[in-house]
Amino acid sequence: MSRSALNEAAKRCAFAPVFAALGDPTRLSLVAKLCGGQPCSISQLTEDTQLTRQAITKHLRVLEHARIVHSTRQGRESRFAFNPEPIEDIKRYLDLVSEQWDDALARLRAFVESCPPM
């Protein structure tokens, strides 16, 4: 794994908004509904919730800002669809940081196991 690949991944994914967007139970349930792949209208997403259409719309905008969902207009209605990319980017980033630690810890092992105690 090259450091430039790591750098690229780090640059591509702006973590904070993605994690922040996911850190709310309502938004998580919206993601849960949408990640089946089927785009939904705001009315569909408001069904079975105690929340108003306005509240759901607000949450959808937060998810949209983090690129976790995107909306398209169909006639008078907006439909929202799941976009897996930001979350995949985070996974990739964590994988890369994790690999870097594997390398560093392997060097630590070699270091402490080969040097006799002073």
Partner 1 sequence: MTDSIEKRMELKAPVSRVWRALTDYREFGEWFRVKLDRPFVPGQVSRGHITYPGYEHIPWEVVVVRMDPDALFSFTWHPYAVDPKEDYSKESPTLVEFRLEKTATGTLLRLTESGFDKIPAHRRLEALRMNDGGWTEQMKNIKSHVTLGA
> Which residues contact partner 1 by CB under 8 A?
3, 6-7, 10-11, 15-16, 19-20, 22-23, 25, 28-29, 31-32, 35-36, 84, 87-88, 90-91, 94-98, 100-102, 104-113, 115, 117
Minimum CB distance to partner 1 smaller for 74 or for 84: 84
Q: Which of 15, 23, 33, 25 is nearest to 69 (CA)?
A: 33
Report, in Å, the least distance between residue 43 CB and partner 1. Answer: 21
Task: State the number of CA atoms in the 13 A half-sphere of 79 facing the CB.
Answer: 9
Minimum CB distance to partner 1 smaller for 58 or for 91: 91
Report, in Å, the least distance between residue 76 CB and partner 1. Answer: 29
Minimum CB distance to partner 1 smaller for 51 or for 106: 106
Q: Which of 28, 9, 96 is nearest to 68 (CA)?
A: 28
Residue 71 three-state SS: strand
Residue 79 three-state SS: strand
